[in-house]
A and B are shown apart, each in its own frame.
Chain A
Amino acid sequence: MASEYGTQTAMPLPAGLSGALPARAGLGLKPEHLRSMLQHRPDISFFEVHAENFMVEGGPLLHFLHRLRDDYPLSVHGVGLSIGGMAPPDADHLTRLAGLLERFQPASFSEHLAWSTHNGVFFNDLLPLVYDPVSLARVCAHIDQIQERLGRRLLLENPATYVAYAGSSLDEADFIGQVIRRTGCGLLLDVNNLHVTCRNHQRDPLAYLRALPLHAVGEIHLAGCAEHTTADGGALLIDSHDRAVAEDVWGLYCTALTLTGPQPTLIERDANLPPLEEQLAEAQTADRMLCACLTA
């Protein structure tokens, strides 16, 4: 099965049908804050929403997203395709996703290197996969199906993980590199995920960063993470999205920008939301670093 996807390099697909995201800072947006964002109309370069939050027939969610889309570039971020799962992406879900992308024509669509559905049950978490040739072939086949169905290139996000598998024979960065080479998809570089994963598995974040296929980066994610002490006294980082971006993550981001050049950069916040001004201040920090990277 691996040989089927082994050597072929995919045809380049269009990233989005209405231009690329600007290489500036954007904000993640939850459905319940759409209306207030439309009232405040903050000075921000793009918004990103989760695809599954807008898979509805009609009503206020679609109405307000249309209005937002009139004024800001939009990125759609999926959390439910279960690319790393054993089963191919669900056909009904892909149809709904295709309809959503058709309707809103976002500048970018991204998903995760993770699994979230098994035997038809949805777990609502981004679960880690084994990195071996079987899993690599399966992930590539799933991404091929998704890109073909959607008629566009997706950006694949590197994961934040808490466990690793004894059976993994490939390094995570190498696995991602091979997926990107074989499928032609891009990389959504989540710097917080990189920080969390490297800390949890005691890896060197700079070495991991350099090992990633940085030429394929199309967007960067930044978020806050939480320190968690386990019952046996271990300290792990949790990808919690519930606080400000950590200093270490800003540092890694600066380094990443020197390697990737300026990239659309999203500040993610999913819980414990601060006043809008605080989120905008983080976006401004990212914008300053992006400017510095341009003039360097």
Chain B
Amino acid sequence: MSDGLIASMAQALRDPAQPCPAGLRESCPADPAQRFAIYRNNVQSSLIDALADTFPVCRALVGADFFIGLARAHLQACPPRSPVLMEYGAEFADFIAGYPPAASLPYLADMARLERAYVMSAHAADSVPLTSRQLQDLLSRADLLHDARFQLDPALALVRSDYAVASLWGAHQEDDVTAALAGVRPGQPETALLVRSDLVVAITAVPQSSGELIQHLIDGASLGSAASIFQARHPDFDLASALGLLIAYQSIIHVQLPGAN
């Protein structure tokens, strides 16, 4: 009998429309339904809070009340599957994209993508960047660079958006958010680059071409093939500045040269 009870309790915890499960002991003070409501409320509010912890800018953009409704709907559709709540919210951006009440804020889904990437970046594995000496040696071997494949810091991530998500995010880190937002054009497409340096994640807008190159390097393309794609598509493409970004952020942790393992 205990097995059925846990199952019916689990169902009633997830769905507020369900009645209090049968099998609870009648007691005073307070009847079983009132007592059960405490658990239901704990479950709902603690998981909504967990989502708010991961998506503070999304919450600020829509306001606390709207966020609660959104988070509750998301909880119903995508409950957490792991007790590690930092991981909760992987589906939140896609959920927002299909959530009609949020349609008036078209950049909300991308902001969720960015905030989720921020948390993943903060907790990504530690790595040791190549030293400037190693980088110098590498750059001096122009003959080999074309076929070189880069391994980048696991904490590095890119979020490309049709909206100014990096600038909007940055404005929300300022003391005077309203004033900072006044200087942002939300309709400006941006590629946000996330890097972790000294244990702190920074988000900056980078040129789209640089972002695309870095993405191809992350995906395992050789430097030469990644560069040639972009030189065709972006006449103003500057390989040196794109690589310079990775060097400046100390994001290159390994370079595999042709013939080497």
Interface residues in chain A, defined as those with a beta carbon under 8 Å from any beta carbon in chain B? 52-53, 55-63, 79-82, 85-86, 93, 96, 115-125, 127, 129-130, 132, 134-135, 162-168, 200-202, 228, 230-236, 238
Decide yes or no whether B25 CB sits under 8 A from chain A: yes
Decide yes or no whether B16 CB sits under 8 A from chain A: no
Decide yes or no whether B183 CB sits under 8 A from chain A: no
**Residue pair A125, B2 in contact (C-beta under 8 Å):** no
**Residue pair A167, B123 in contact (C-beta under 8 Å):** no
- Contact (A93, B85) CB under 8 Å given A125-B42, A165-B25: no
What are 20 A-B pairs with beta-carbon distances under 8 A? A53-B86, A57-B126, A58-B125, A59-B123, A59-B124, A60-B200, A86-B3, A93-B82, A96-B84, A118-B6, A124-B43, A124-B50, A124-B85, A127-B9, A165-B5, A165-B24, A202-B27, A234-B28, A234-B30, A234-B31
**Residue pair A164, B9 in contact (C-beta under 8 Å):** no
Q: For B201, give the chain A residue with the smallest CB separation.
A: A59
Q: For A121, give the chain B residue with the smallest CB separation.
A: B79
**Residue pair A121, B10 in contact (C-beta under 8 Å):** yes
Interface residues in chain B, defined as those with a beta carbon under 8 Å from any beta carbon in chain A? 1-3, 5-7, 9-10, 13-14, 23-32, 34-39, 42-43, 46-47, 50, 79-86, 122-127, 154-155, 196, 199-200
In the bound complex, residues from chain B placing their C-beta under 8 Å from that of A168 are 25
- Contact (A201, B27) CB under 8 Å given A60-B199, A122-B80: yes
Q: Please, how many angstroms separate the alpha-carbon atoms of A96 and B32 in the complex? A: 37
**CB of A227, distance to nearest CB on chain B (Å):** 12
Q: For A167, give the chain B residue with the smallest CB separation.
A: B1
**Residue pair A80, B83 in contact (C-beta under 8 Å):** yes
**Residue pair A121, B81 in contact (C-beta under 8 Å):** yes
- Contact (A123, B10) CB under 8 Å given A117-B83, A166-B23, A167-B23: yes
> Which of A85, A115, A127, A231 is close to B34, meaning CB atoms less than 8 Å apart?
A231
Q: Please, how many angstroms separate the alpha-carbon atoms of A105 and B28 in the complex? A: 45
Among B24, B28, B155, which residue has the most Cβ atoms of chain A within 10 A? B24
Q: For A123, give the chain B residue with the smallest CB separation.
A: B43
**Residue pair A230, B35 in contact (C-beta under 8 Å):** yes
**CB of B251, distance to nearest CB on chain A (Å):** 15
Q: Please, how many angstroms separate the alpha-carbon atoms of A233 and B64 in the complex? A: 30
**CB of B126, distance to nearest CB on chain A (Å):** 4
Q: Please, how many angstroms separate the alpha-carbon atoms of A91 and B1 in the complex? A: 26
**Residue pair B199, A129 in contact (C-beta under 8 Å):** no
- Contact (A234, B10) CB under 8 Å given A124-B85, A163-B36: no
In the bound complex, residues from chain B placing their C-beta under 8 Å from that of A235 are 29-30
Q: Please, how many angstroms separate the alpha-carbon atoms of A96 and B123 in the complex? A: 14
**Residue pair B24, A163 in contact (C-beta under 8 Å):** yes
- Contact (A59, B126) CB under 8 Å given A132-B2, A164-B25: yes
- Contact (A59, B122) CB under 8 Å given A163-B24, A230-B30, A235-B29: yes
In the bound complex, residues from chain A placing their C-beta under 8 Å from that of B14 are 121
> Which of B6, B24, B38, B125 is close to A166, meaning CB atoms less than 8 Å apart?
B24
**CB of B124, distance to nearest CB on chain A (Å):** 6
In the bound complex, residues from chain A placing their C-beta under 8 Å from that of B125 are 57-58
Q: Please, how many angstroms separate the alpha-carbon atoms of A167 and B25 in the complex? A: 8
**CB of A154, distance to nearest CB on chain B (Å):** 16
**Residue pair A228, B31 in contact (C-beta under 8 Å):** no
**Residue pair B23, A165 in contact (C-beta under 8 Å):** yes
**CB of A38, distance to nearest CB on chain B (Å):** 12
Q: For A53, give the chain B residue with the smallest CB separation.
A: B86
In the bound complex, residues from chain A placing their C-beta under 8 Å from that of B46 are 124-125
**CB of A56, distance to nearest CB on chain B (Å):** 4
**CB of B110, distance to nearest CB on chain A (Å):** 23
**CB of B117, distance to nearest CB on chain A (Å):** 14
In the bound complex, residues from chain B placing their C-beta under 8 Å from that of A130 are 1-2, 5-6
> Which of A52, A162, A232 is close to B83, meaning CB atoms less than 8 Å apart?
A52
